[in-house]
A and B are shown apart, each in its own frame.
Chain A
Amino acid sequence: MVIYCGDEVSALVVDVGGSWIRAGYAGEDTPKVVVPSWVGSSEVTEDEASATTKTIRNSKADSQDPDVEMGDATASQSGSSSKDAAGGQGDVRVKNEPGTCRKYYIGDTQASTWRPNMDIKTPLEDGLVADWDIYENIWNYCFYNRLRVQPEENPLFVTEVAWNTPSLREKMVELAFEKFNCPAFYVSKDPVLTAFASGKPTGLVLDCGGTTTSAVAVFDGYVLKKGQTYQNIAGDFISEQILAQLKQDYQKEVVPRYRVAQKSAVGPGEPAKAVLRDRPNTAPSFDHRMQMQAIHEYKETVCQISETTFDLDALKVRPQKPYEFPDGYNLQVGVQRYQIPEILFQPDKFIVDKTREVRLNGKAVSLSANTGVNGTGSGNATAKPLGIPRMIYDCISACDTDVRPHLFSNIILTGGSTLFPGFVDRVNYELQGLAPGQRIKIQTPGNTAERKFGTWLGGSILSSLGSFHQLWISKQEYQDSGASIVNKKCQ
């Protein structure tokens, strides 16, 4: 082990991202736990809560839904097994009002299962932790239900976005030491870890994921704060726009899978003939999430990015792709499959649903200055949403002149949305136009797993290094200096 500079101290690496949570042991090449960040939660009464999962199973048993039952089976299994774990349960109840509390459903099978009045939420907003209750439950779930470890025995390594605030970090370190009793803790920034995973200490990391797209410069393992940009035009935003575009062009409301009981074949473009399930009291957030899942599949199947400048006539002659939605409705997708992802590159021209809020660096920006539909217009009226090449270029331009060539030759693309066919070519093409005299080299991990788990992988590498030992914040240090030590030690 020593020859690889590694030393296994059985650290746990947890990466809570905008759309996926990855958790696993340091030193491994893929995370053991990969679950969506979208967590279901519903209000239950104390009585219901005190009754074990058995009650839930009974209440669901009368519904004749095979996939619900399957989901329940796993739920009850993990739920009951985790009951004994110290204080942590898979579905944690938190006291809310007298007589009621919230129950959380974490994991793909849990959160995608229909339950009356179950809300779907993610703990993050623009990458920052907004709901600590869910966040804590996610850790709980990872440690006790999935990894089956005692956090008080393992050092904990977590990731954060580059623009995380000091107060949120302090809260995180408090959570680790006070609630989970970790012996040691460290928090590191996503771009640094992504760069590590691609073997680069210096580079520009463009992370285009589900909820956020960010461009951050990394120098010698440190994030350069000036110039970092993040924007909420990412995978989910694209999905929303596809939803709007389908409504606008085909008057098609996407019916999510959970509502379809039976579908029958129809011709392209014809209205769907599907038997729908009656799902009363569905929370809007759940329905929307399920719609997004259906769109997600559509997006991954048909959408593509023009390799060079968007040229409508040239793209019109490209082959169409057929796609069938969960309810059997199907269509041939033509140039639309290029138009919507083009938002990533030219947001001001291609956004269909202009009522959606676009936030640049956490502040709303106007999409069209003359109409002012978005209505926010708070101080940031002049700012415009940025295309990805522009984000990269602006970020690099904000750095010192001496560093720029290094950044241009180490542009690292990561995140699920970079997997659109043509994405890398397009970024390369556009950057050559923006920075003509520079040697541009784009580094992209070849396999999908590395691009999806790049951040986690970097964390796994870093925390399994022998020389990482001196960087851990120990519990003693935390007790001596308080939570603010995290801002001093984790740069």
Chain B
Amino acid sequence: MASSDDNAPQTVPTTTTNTTTVTQRHQPLYPMEVSQDLFALIGGAPTVLIHKPSARPKPKPDDTQAAQWVWRGFTSSARNDDLVLYHWVKADEDPSDYHFAPFNQMIDVGEYTEVEYDLYLRDDDWTKAETAYLMDLCRQFDLRFVVVADRYEFPDKSRSMEDLKERYYSVQQKLLRGRHTAGPINDPGLQRDLAVYDYNKDREIERKSYLEVLYRRTRAQVQEEEALYIEARRLDQNEKRLTHERNALLRLLNAHETNLLLRQAGRKARRSGQPSNLAIGTGSAAHHLRLGGDVPAHLHLSSPLTGTIPPGSDDPGAAGLVDPAGLDSRDRQPPGAFIRSTRIAPVKISMSQKVLAYLDELNVPPRPVMATGPICAEFDRLQANILALLELKKHADKLEADVKQATARKAQLLGQDASATGH
């Protein structure tokens, strides 16, 4: 751009530019010793704004005629008289009725004749004139009873809003009943219509008196109420927490009770000479658990071990398998992804060596190689069985030792007897 300026004709019409720009134009735009690129880097010649007039299409003349507006008088069917006011309207607008006339909606509060009044509406407290006055006000204020009660000024009478409402609704109901000549009085249509005008004055007065009490509260009362509310909320929350804890405790107790029951059952079974402890686990223990009620169903499915606790043993590990919340630790899903093999129930360190030895004997690796769901389940079962077996074996060993000791003692006693008798 700078170069193009350089080549531009040096003569500038003086009419459009002032003298200073003319002298500037005569000087070279950048010093010769500085290269053009460097000059461009340090700022260079100011860029020239080229204004290209855009060709905008001329607006086409609108052929349509401008709408004609006229100052026209109008009347409205909403009025009883023919008041003529003037406004601007389009000349072609239909001048038949005023646009806003349909908005003149009135609530129909009903009319009654003199005869009807005498027949149905007589009331000791209300005169005919006062009733008419009330109906008039209702009509005028479109049944806004707040306003009706406010403007109600009948000589020598002071009426509350409830009085007025009661009278109005009873008038409507009496008229409906009185005019209902065709059909039985318990006609559902009539009953429906009557229900619209149901009004219970006493209840309304009571409601308002409650509201009044609420309104007249002092600041201290309101604050007290708020404090109480907060306290109540706190108690409520506390109670929730307590129930939760209690439930957890109950579950725990339940589990413990189950163990006890199992033990008892085991003892019973032993006494009755039933051979299998396992049968108790799946049978009567499950039955007792069901009686427990809120113990989750999975408990007796996932812990066959509990059923196989050797009766009489005070091994805390057996109870330790059931966690305090009543849930088997294996049944709790940890958040996120996990490796299934980590979900295999861990073996107590004291037992692990024996279990591993047993697994080795069976040619089963210490952890499943391909830890699929069924395999893990199977492995779990196997482990549990091994544990049970070991437990039984230990028990059996103990019993055997007992028996041995007993027989030894018996033999000793018999020996003593024999020697005693032998002597």
Contact = CB atoms under 8 A, between A and B. Distances in A.
Interface string B64-84: 000000000000101111111
A96 interface: no
B219 A436 contact: yes
A224 B147 CA distance: 6
A491 B140 contact: yes
Interface in A393-447: 397, 399-404, 433, 435-438
A438 B219 CA distance: 11
B81 A474 contact: yes
A469 B212 contact: no
Contacts of B338: none
B81 A477 contact: yes
Contacts of A2: 99
Contacts, number: 100
B211 A220 contact: no
A424 B385 CA distance: 82
B79 A7 contact: no
Contacts of B218: 436
B81 A184 contact: no
Contacts of B219: 433, 436
Given A8-B87, A437-B215, A403 B146 contact: yes
A219 interface: yes
Given A219-B146, A219-B147, A226-B150, A184 B83 contact: yes
Interface string A194-220: 000000000000000000000000011
A222 interface: yes
B60 to A, nearest CB: 29
Contacts of B376: none
A343 B140 CA distance: 41
A390 to B, nearest CB: 15
A401 B204 CA distance: 11
A10 B86 contact: yes
Contact of B212 (A7, A401, A477): A401
B222 interface: yes
Nearest to B142: A220
B144 A220 contact: yes
Interface in B209-224: 211-212, 214-215, 217-219, 221-223
A9 B84 CA distance: 10
Contacts of B88: 8
B168 interface: no
A470 interface: yes
A9 B100 contact: no
A52 B231 CA distance: 83
A467 interface: yes
A397 B215 CA distance: 9
A341 B194 CA distance: 58
A183 interface: yes
Contacts of A470: 76, 78-79, 101, 104
Contacts of B83: 183-184, 469, 472, 474-477
Interface residues of A, number: 39
Interface residues of B, number: 38
B126 interface: no
A474 B147 contact: no
Contact of A183 (B80, B85, B103, B221): B85
A362 interface: no
A437 B214 contact: yes
B146 A224 contact: yes
Interface in A445-491: 465-467, 469-470, 472, 474-477, 480, 491
A475 B84 CA distance: 10
A400 B84 CA distance: 41
Given A222-B141, A437-B215, A9 B87 contact: yes
A236 B386 CA distance: 103
B222 A225 contact: no
Interface string B133-144: 000000011001
Contact of A219 (B76, B80, B144): B144
Interface in B150-170: 150-151, 161
A401 B104 CA distance: 30
Given A219-B144, A401-B211, A436-B217, A469 B76 contact: yes
Contacts of A402: 146, 208, 211
Contacts of A491: 140-141, 151
A17 interface: no
A477 to B, nearest CB: 6
A155 interface: yes
B229 interface: no
A476 B100 contact: no
Most chain B beta carbons < 10 A, residue from A10, A219, A397, A437: A437
Contacts of A469: 76, 78-79, 83, 85, 98, 100-101
B215 A220 contact: no
A151 to B, nearest CB: 14
A437 B100 contact: no
A368 B273 CA distance: 106
Given A7-B100, A224-B150, A437 B79 contact: no
A220 B101 CA distance: 21
Contacts of A397: 215
A200 to B, nearest CB: 15
B252 to A, nearest CB: 47
A265 B316 CA distance: 102
B149 interface: yes
Contacts of B101: 469-470
B208 A222 contact: no
B100 A466 contact: yes
A84 to B, nearest CB: 24
Nearest to A488: B140
A476 B150 contact: no
A401 B99 contact: no
A238 B355 CA distance: 100
Given A9-B86, A436-B222, A467 B214 contact: no
B205 to A, nearest CB: 11
Nearest to A438: B215
Interface string B82-98: 11111110000000001
A155 to B, nearest CB: 6
Nearest to A5: B100
Contacts of A9: 85-87
A43 B232 CA distance: 78
Nearest to A399: B146
A467 B104 contact: yes
A437 B226 CA distance: 10
A404 B149 CA distance: 15
Contacts of B86: 9-10
B146 A400 contact: yes
Nearest to B160: A400
Interface string A374-408: 00000000000000000000000101111110000
Interface in B183-226: 208, 211-212, 214-215, 217-219, 221-223
Given A8-B87, A436-B219, A400 B161 contact: yes
A192 B276 CA distance: 93
A450 B14 CA distance: 58
Nearest to A225: B150
A474 B215 contact: no
Contacts of A433: 219
A436 B215 CA distance: 9
A401 B208 contact: yes
Contacts of A476: 81-83
30 contacts: A9-B85, A10-B86, A220-B144, A222-B144, A222-B147, A224-B146, A225-B150, A225-B151, A400-B149, A403-B146, A436-B217, A436-B218, A436-B221, A436-B222, A437-B214, A437-B215, A437-B222, A465-B100, A466-B103, A469-B78, A469-B98, A469-B100, A470-B79, A470-B104, A474-B79, A475-B83, A476-B82, A477-B81, A491-B140, A491-B151
Given A220-B146, A466-B99, A466-B100, 4 more contacts: A219-B146, A400-B208, A469-B83, A470-B79
Query: Which 3 pairs show the lowest CB-CB distances between chains A and B?
Result: A466-B100, A474-B83, A470-B78
